[in-house]
Amino acid sequence: MSVAVIGAGAFGTALAIALAQTQPITLWARDADHVTEMAKHRENKRRLSGALFPDQLTVSTNLETVLDVDIILLAMPMQALAGFAKANDLSTKTVVACCKGIDLTTGQGPSAILADAAHVAILTGPSFAKDIATGLPTALTLACASADIATQLQQMLSTPTLRLYSSTDVIGAELGGALKNVIAIGCGAVMGAGLGDSARAALMTRGFAEMQRVAATMGAEPETLMGLSGLGDLTLTCTSDQSRNYRLGLALGAGTDFDGAITVEGAATARALRKMARNHGLDLPICLTIADLVDGTLTITGAIDRLLARPLREE
């Protein structure tokens, strides 16, 4: 079966490099100049410099050809996914969403947005592009409503260094990957403001409780959030400045500038959570505080005061 990766950002490129160790892979990018550069240098100097392309990796701007493959990995920003799905017929395809977030306009996750595809899977978990591209051991969750398709994809997309665990809890997998980005912004803000490791640990733990609350409300299985797509990914992104979400939080906490051209999925997800909390009557003090911090309607000092002033309660 043929495989293509749509989206030549750092993560899409890393996946293409890893998969091309064992099979032919096509990597698609919209920018023709970018594709020419990658083909010439055999690396993505713009997004993942230093990670050389294997011989079985081909780059292309021909979307029609790429969409003709059997399995399509969609490694694009979450907020671009709905537009792509609307513009292209995926009804006969097996698609794997590799983006983490909630669509700000519809409040939907990747699986709902891609519902017209023949089969939809979610690939998520604790991973940085550089680690995957350089062959460092990485474990991810691959979730699909069909256990048979999940197993097939698990076999197709695992490599000697990229280990996939299958699941049928699509909602839990995609929510874990989306919500941890919001908590990572908060943890970055804690460290940027100099509040210390103890405060970060507290925010991670109580933030994880909010993640579980949302997941349960949306019909996810509780144990899914305890796995790679939830707790695993949360641990990684809340403790490393390789995470763009964490780096945004660092800048917010320190009161320094952050490059607005960098895609930070957690910012849009935090705003989407504000709507979700209102619609479902969810108590999400940490997530909503982070949303206000991202929007600039709350200072880091105000955020600290708001959370510490909450009534005492049982854990």
CA distance 20 to 16: 6
C-alpha torsion angle, residues 129, 66, 115, 261 (rounded to 10): 40
Q: Phi, psi (5° rounding) for residue 305?
A: -60, -40
* One-letter amino acid for residue 309 of the chain: A
Q: Name the active-site residue from 45, 130, 180, 275.
A: 180
180 assigned to active site:
yes
Q: Phi, psi (5° rounding) for residue 68?
A: -90, -5
Helix 265-280 × helix 78-87 angle, to 10°: 80
CA distances from 93 to 79, 103, 313 (A): 21, 22, 49
Task: Identify the CA nearest to 237 among candidates 160, 310, 298, 183.
Answer: 183
CA distance 90 to 92: 6
Spatial contact of 44 and 13, defined as CB atoms under 8 Å apart: yes
Task: Identify the CA nearest to 254 among candidates 265, 267, 241, 266.
Answer: 241
Please identify every residue annotated as catalytic.
Answer: 180
